[in-house]
């Protein structure tokens, strides 16, 4: 079913977070890049079109990796089956680490953050999008509906109660981890990252023209997109 979603059919251009995500990526030319939760490998492929020197894509799903390998026959892209929490790359291995909409599935964001910090070179960039905490707060992850099925508003509850959420995604049970905006940001900063930007991407005018129904996404924040730099400055 995942392969029937707009983002799977239309490619990155049909992912709401993508235009902002792309804008926050640094110049990838000649860079060594790591993609956490690479899925079908589209971000890996994009990095290569921007002349990244090497790309490592990791994902836990063998199905997705198989499709990624089939669709991108590029010796400079290396796919590995690995949980994001289990990465163990050497220090200073990458110039850029990114992750698109995968980190809400990770229980220990603090651990991942420390590992990313370690494997980044000084001055390197960490860019990631995740489902917005306003989106993950309630396990139901759905609108409030009126008596005629109309969308009344987006309900928020249990916001400060971080942890496991049993959500439903494409009719399947999915386990997610809710964290507050504060936790995402302060965990990055506590690791030594300097925050470059914080975005809450919503559909662009171009995307709204192609998918007018996406205007509903403007009613509440759907994604959180953070870009941070491994600074050589000590925290003060």
Residues that bind a second copy (CB under 8 A): 123, 134, 137-138, 144, 152-161, 180-182, 185-186, 189, 194-200, 202, 218-221, 229, 231, 233, 236
Looking at the Cβ atoms of 13 and 162, the one nearer to a second copy is 162
What's the rounded Cα separation, in Å, for the pair 117 and 131? Answer: 21
What's the rounded Cα separation, in Å, for the pair 67 and 47? Answer: 18
Looking at the Cβ atoms of 114 and 138, the one nearer to a second copy is 138
**CB 156 to a second copy: min, Å:** 4
Return the structure tokens found at 160: 């400060």
Is residue 120 within 8 A of residue 91, CB to CB? The reply is: no
What's the rounded Cα separation, in Å, for the pair 28 and 96? Answer: 8
Is residue 193 within 8 A of residue 120, CB to CB? The reply is: no
**CB 112 to a second copy: min, Å:** 19
Looking at the Cβ atoms of 70 and 161, the one nearer to a second copy is 161
Looking at the Cβ atoms of 54 and 100, the one nearer to a second copy is 100
Is residue 214 within 8 A of residue 223, CB to CB? The reply is: no
């Amino acid at each position: 079913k995942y392969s029937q979603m707009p983002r799977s059919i239309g490619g990155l251009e049909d992912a709401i977070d993508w235009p902002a995500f792309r804008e926050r990526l640094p110049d990838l030319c000649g860079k060594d890049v790591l993609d956490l939760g690479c899925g079908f490998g589209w971000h890996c492929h994009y990095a290569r079109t921007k002349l990244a020197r090497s790309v490592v894509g990791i994902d836990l799903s063998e199905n997705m990796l198989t499709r990624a390998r089939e669709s991108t026959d590029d010796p400079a892209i290396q796919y590995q089956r690995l949980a994001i929490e289990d990465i163990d790359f050497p220090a200073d291995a990458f110039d850029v680490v990114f992750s698109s909409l995968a980190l809400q599935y990770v229980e220990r964001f603090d651990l991942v953050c420390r590992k990313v910090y370690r494997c980044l070179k000084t001055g390197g960039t960490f860019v990631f999008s995740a489902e917005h905490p306003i989106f993950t707060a309630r396990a139901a992850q759905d609108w409030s509906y009126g008596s005629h099925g109309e969308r009344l508003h987006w309900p928020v509850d249990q916001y400060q109660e971080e942890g496991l959420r049993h959500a439903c995604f494409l009719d399947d049970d999915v386990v997610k981890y809710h964290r507050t905006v504060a936790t995402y940001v302060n965990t990055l900063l506590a690791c030594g990252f300097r925050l470059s930007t914080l975005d809450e991407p919503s559909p662009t005018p171009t995307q709204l023209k192609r998918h007018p129904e996406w205007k509903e996404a403007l009613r509440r924040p759907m994604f959180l997109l953070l870009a941070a730099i491994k600074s050589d400055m000590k925290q003060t």
